[in-house]
Structure 1
Amino acid sequence: MPAWTSRSSTDGVNASRTLLHPAAKPLVFVLCLLPLAHLMWGAVADTLGANPAEALTRGTGDWTLRLLSLTLAVTPARHATGWHGLARFRRMLGLFTFFYGVLHLLCYAWFDMGFYVDDIARDIAKRPFILVGFAAFLLMLPLAATSFNRAIRALGAVRWQALHRLVYAVAGLALLHFFWMRSGKNDYAEVGVYALIIAILLGARVWRAWRRRAAAAQPA
């Protein structure tokens, strides 16, 4: 066996052991909370700039998109590396995506709208980028509500998987929301980065699905 193959196999085993370590999930949990701690500290220490409310709204929105990208990256990364232990973090990352999405919506409702429901409803109907962002949040609701073993058993694996394909629609709507938000300042650089990342992650899924169908269509 070539030396590089042996090293690769050993590295894969070590990575799998690390991912399956009992401390791995608590560590990921803490890491996911660090952005919130940073934003809260910035608000207390008055280091968020001239418009702290906008910084909190933008910050929670940015981390919603980042965690959504990480959630989508779990399966392609697992297939590419063989580190199947990555799958144990997907649910947590998905729920943290929803958590930051809730915070983003609350920041908008509080800082921009003062929690006036009528004003919020009119703003959603009037501004397309708010409407698209709200639609993405609504689609995340059933995903978060069914991200538990009891829900999987109740729905059945096939229906549960079909429901959770809504994450692709969430990704598209979130990206469009981000694009429209940045278009007001003609700032598209970061939008392009996220668009490329999400396109690669979704493209990897399409490629894998195509290969499975092609393999199944071949005669035995």
Structure 2
Amino acid sequence: MDITKLTEYFAASMYVALGLIALWGAYCVTMIWVRVAQKRFRSEAQQDAFLDAVEEPLERGDFQEASELCESDPRALPQLAYLAIENREIGYAQVRQLVVERFQRDVLADLDHRISWVNTVIKGAPMVGLLGTVTGMMGAFGKLAAAEQVKASDMANDISLALVTTALGLVIAIPLTFCLNSVNIRIRKMEDLVAVGLTRFMGSLREAIATEAMSELEEIQPVSTSE
């Protein structure tokens, strides 16, 4: 096959590959952004309002009501609180460990997975662009070798491929780098907010569990009667 035709086919594949890479990177960043928005409270005041609502039934020993308040809320802290309430029988220490592990597995691990893809796009897009650059230069030098006299206009497409693919790789990688930094900041803020809220909730749950245990102990103790 003529190297010129081969270069043209390869150029088309480079543009398609860069387009798909750009779409995948944008999709992953969007999904991370949406996921974080779904799992966090907008402010600490909103989180405190939720905790106030949950602590009220816990102080009364009404675990059912507290569980119902958490169950329908898809955000991370309510779901962790629901998990803790439903598994309170295994003991406070085990519940706390369970909640931390679930947060790491269900929320942070999913975000880390998508972040790894964004990092791959950031690193891969310039490499694909560089491959296009090499391909364009190969086409240009192939034309030089195949003809005694080559017009500059005949080499324009190959040189254009060499420059455009490099530029496209950088155009994809640079905005995604800034987006990823912004996403990482949002994730860290979410982690800090969840950690603060979880510490407060677990303290309230521990007191509620202790109160429940004392009540059960009093019920099973024989009642002494005076003679």
The TM-score with structure 2 as length reference comes to 0.33
The TM-score with structure 1 as length reference comes to 0.33
Which protein, 1 or 2, shows the higher relative CO under an 8 Å CA cutoff with sep ≥ 6?
Answer: 2
Larger radius of gyration: 2
